[in-house]
């Protein structure tokens, strides 16, 4: 899969996902570290990337604008430790790959995962 990692995602997780064979860039690598969330979403859409973020503004931006919908995984967790995030991604990515390709918001919480397909919105 192709991912666009927001600033809150650790470089350790970026390296981990790359080692798993995913194509991934962080916002500073493509000059988006000081851009608006809307610009980040536009970039992800153009490049077919899933946004990885801790930013809780993304679900509303994605859900409310039908023409502005890049899939996203939003972490809403007590910890941002790379080891924990990496373990969660290892668990959720394989079964959610098709859902993310079709368009969805995935919210990863400490003890559950919520999936909202764009088709259902």
Q: What is the mean pLDDT of residues 76-105?
A: 93
Q: Provide the mean pLDDT of the chain.
A: 90
pTM: 0.91
Residue 69 token pair: 């919908």
Is residue 50 within 8 A of residue 70, CB to CB? The reply is: yes
Predicted local confidence at residue 53, as pLDDT: 93
Predicted local confidence at residue 121, as pLDDT: 54
Q: What is the mean pLDDT of residues 69-87?
A: 92
Predicted local confidence at residue 36, as pLDDT: 87
pLDDT surpasses 70 at 48: yes
Q: For residue 25, what are the β-bridge partners?
A: 4
């Amino acid at each position: 899969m192709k991912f666009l990692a927001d600033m809150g995602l650790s470089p350790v997780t970026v390296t981990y996902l790359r080692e798993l064979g995913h194509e991934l860039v962080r916002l500073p690598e493509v000059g988006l570290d000081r851009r608006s969330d809307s610009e980040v979403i536009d970039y992800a859409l153009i490049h077919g990337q899933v946004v990885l973020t801790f930013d809780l503004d993304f679900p509303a931006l994605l859900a409310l604008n039908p023409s502005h919908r890049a899939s996203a995984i939003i972490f809403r967790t007590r910890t941002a430790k790379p080891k924990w995030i990496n373990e969660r991604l290892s668990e959720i990515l394989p079964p959610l790959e098709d859902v993310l390709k079709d368009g969805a918001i995935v919210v990863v919480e400490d003890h559950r995962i919520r999936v909202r397909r764009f088709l259902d919105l």
